[in-house]
Amino acid sequence: MGPQQPEPAAVAWASRVETEPSVEGGMNVGFIENGDYLKVKGVAFGDGPS
C-alpha cells in the first residue's frame, strides 16, 4: 500500500507564498520565508506526522 493522499484542501489566505505545479499532480507551496504564512481549510491531519 502506497502513501495516503490527503483530502483536497482550499487555501483560505496567504501572504507572500507562491505555488507551483507538482509532478505528482496538484500544487506545491514553496518560496516561504520568515514572516510569510498560509492558512488552509478542509484539512484532516489524522494522527499527525508519521
Q: pLDDT of 1-50, one tens digit each?
A: 444 444 556 666 678 888 888 898 888 888 888 988 888 777 777 787 76
Q: How far apart are CA 23 and CA 35, in angstroms?
A: 27
Torsion of CA 48, 2, 39, 31, to 10 degrees: 120
pTM, two decimals, is 0.47
- Is residue 30 in some structural domain? yes
- The count of structural domains within the chain is 1
The answer as to whether 22 is a domain residue is yes
Structural domain range at position 14:
10-41
User: Does residue 33 lie within any of the structural domains?
Assistant: yes
What does the DSSP 8-state code read for residue 23? T
